[in-house]
């Protein structure tokens, strides 16, 4: 009843839910979603008159089964990790950044420009840092525009980021086509400085694959995002705004400032993704290199449940599907993987909350 009754042996604790419970809740729902997607995939493959087992075996062999395929998965996962982290960072503050595509392109473009301007003699570590900062800045600028328009005028970030995709991509296209392309192509000359080492340089088995050290950067960014969200005051404020803006406002948090920060840094993260292609793979900026990776980041964030480490796992998953599509191309059309991607997204969006609800109610019943 009152404070005096506390003496009866109730000691405050810091007991998290039992790990088994948490593991169940983290793993079972996505696994169910995956199962649903696999069943749909089976039906699709059967409809093409092929054996699902053979196709899946081929898919795995072509991706995780050999060094080249695995290298390609790593490469594709890197860009998706950046764009997925970008989207999830915005969503944690309750904002939907659909501008990953143009932020990624702007970041890649800035990295290429910087790499072109820097003298070839620049020490690698400095050149890399400067190029990465340039990429992040460019993405951040593209992200800051919708952030400012939202805080200042209440413009909806979804509309503004979508429209900015058109504007930024068209501007970049104009710049490349009109001013800075190698004749007969739509890409810039090769950069002089800031080339990221490839995995193949370290381990020759990866020969031919595009995987490069940008992957390490992506993982570091994921760790940084995790630390920011869950260990810092800024992250506390950001998540508070995403969960309950009115409570955040009551708690003295400036909602507008948090929005500004969240969307800008979402852009920074997406922009940094540009280094994977430009510094790590082709060593030039090519028009249209983002080709959907920005949008796929939305699905990656969704499947990764907006947790930085979940996003990394989801990025690998989508990269596998994408690379696997090429591996099975001879048997079923590559587009089947696109269909499967869509099925996974829908399955995650619908099955995960449903399965979690069932888990919880089952647990409640067993407690009672």
Partner 1 sequence: MISGPASTGEVARGPTARVPAIRMERIEKSFGAIRANRGASVEVMPGEIHALVGENGAGKSTLMRILGGLMKPDSGHVEVNGRDVTGWSTNDAIAAGIGIVHQHFMLVPTLSVAENLVLGCEPKTRGIVLDYKHAADDVRKLSTETGLVIDPERLISDLSVGEAQRVEILKVLFRGARILVLDEPTAVLSPPEVRELWTVLRRLRDKGDTIVLITHRLDEVVEISNTITVMRAGETVARVKTSETTPAEIARLMVGREVSLSAGKRVQPSGRPAGAQPNQGLEARNIIVMGSRGIRVVDGVSFNVRPGEILGIAGVEGNGQTELIEALAGLRPVFAGEILIDGTDITRRSVARRHDAGLSHIPEDRHRRGLILEYTIANNLILGVQKYFSRNGVIDRDRVKENAIRAITSFDIRPPNALLPGRALSGGNQQKVVVAREMGRGFSVLLASQPTRGVDVGAIEFIHQQLLNARTQGKAILLVSAELNEALALSDRVAVMYRGKFAVVMPSAEASEEVLGEYMIGTKKGTAA
Binding stretches for partner 1 (CB under 8 A)? 1-3, 5-6, 10-16, 231-234, 236-237, 239-240, 243-244, 246-254
**In this structure, are residues 139 and 269 in contact, taking their beta carbons and an 8 Å threshold?**
yes
| Placement of tokens 């979508």 in the chain | 162
Q: How far is the CB of 227 from partner 1 (least distance, A)?
A: 8
How far is Cα 99 from Cα 171, in angstroms, rounded to an integer? 15
Cβ-based nearer residue to partner 1, 18 or 178: 18
Closest C-alpha to 283, from 115, 84, 95, 68: 115
Q: How far is the CB of 216 from partner 1 (least distance, A)?
A: 24
**In this structure, are residues 121 and 152 in contact, taking their beta carbons and an 8 Å threshold?**
no
**In this structure, are residues 106 and 270 in contact, taking their beta carbons and an 8 Å threshold?**
no
Question: 103 to each of 12, 69, 134, 179, how far by Cα in Å?
Answer: 47, 28, 12, 21
Q: How far is the CB of 261 from partner 1 (least distance, A)?
A: 12
Q: How far is the CB of 52 from partner 1 (least distance, A)?
A: 40
Cβ-based nearer residue to partner 1, 14 or 153: 14
How far is Cα 81 from Cα 150, in angstroms, rounded to an integer? 26
Cβ-based nearer residue to partner 1, 101 or 237: 237
How far is Cα 70 from Cα 61, in angstroms, rounded to an integer? 9
Q: How far is the CB of 228 from partner 1 (least distance, A)?
A: 9
Residue 50 CA from chain centroid, whole number = 33
Cβ-based nearer residue to partner 1, 204 or 246: 246
How far is Cα 10 from Cα 279, in angstroms, rounded to an integer? 58
Cβ-based nearer residue to partner 1, 166 or 250: 250
Cβ-based nearer residue to partner 1, 42 or 249: 249
How far is Cα 71 from Cα 64, in angstroms, rounded to an integer? 9
How far is Cα 37 from Cα 59, in angstroms, rounded to an integer? 15
Cβ-based nearer residue to partner 1, 12 or 119: 12
Q: How far is the CB of 24 from partner 1 (least distance, A)?
A: 18
């Amino acid at each position: 009843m009152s404070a005096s009754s506390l003496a009866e042996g109730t000691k405050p604790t810091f007991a998290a839910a039992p790990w088994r419970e948490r593991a169940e809740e983290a793993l079972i729902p996505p696994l169910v979603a995956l199962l649903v997607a696999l069943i749909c995939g089976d039906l699709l493959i059967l409809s093409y008159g092929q054996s699902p087992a053979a196709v899946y075996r081929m898919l795995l062999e072509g991706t995780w089964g050999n060094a080249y395929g695995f290298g390609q998965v790593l490469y594709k996962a890197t860009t998706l990790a950046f764009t997925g982290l970008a989207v999830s960072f915005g969503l944690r503050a309750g904002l939907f950044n659909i501008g990953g595509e143009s932020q990624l392109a702007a970041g890649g473009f800035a990295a290429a420009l910087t790499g072109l301007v820097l003298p070839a003699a620049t020490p690698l570590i400095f050149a890399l840092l400067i190029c990465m900062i340039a990429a992040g800045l460019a993405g951040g600028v593209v992200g800051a525009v919708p952030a400012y328009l939202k805080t200042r005028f209440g413009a909806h970030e979804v509309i503004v980021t979508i429209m900015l995709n058109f504007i930024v991509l068209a501007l970049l296209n104009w710049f490349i086509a009109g001013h800075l392309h190698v004749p007969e192509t739509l890409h810039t000359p090769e950069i002089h400085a800031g080339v990221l080492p490839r995995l193949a340089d370290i381990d020759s088995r990866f020969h031919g694959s595009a995987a490069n050290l940008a992957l390490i950067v992506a993982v570091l960014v994921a760790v940084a995002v995790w630390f920011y969200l869950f260990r810092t005051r800024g992250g506390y404020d950001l998540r508070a705004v995403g969960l309950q803006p009115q409570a955040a406002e009551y708690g003295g948090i400036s909602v507008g400032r948090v929005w500004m920060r969240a969307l800008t840094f979402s852009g920074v993260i997406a922009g940094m993704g540009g280094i994977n292609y430009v510094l790590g793979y082709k060593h030039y900026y090519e028009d249209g290199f983002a080709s959907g990776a920005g949008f796929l980041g939305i699905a990656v964030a969704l499947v990764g449940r907006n947790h930085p480490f979940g996003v990394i796992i989801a990025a690998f998953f989508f990269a596998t599907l994408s690379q696997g599509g090429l591996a099975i191309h001879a048997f079923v059309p590559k587009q089947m993987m696109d269909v499967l991607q869509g099925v996974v997204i829908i399955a995650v969006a619908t099955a995960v909350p449903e399965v979690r609800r069932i888990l919880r109610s089952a647990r409640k019943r067993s407690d009672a």
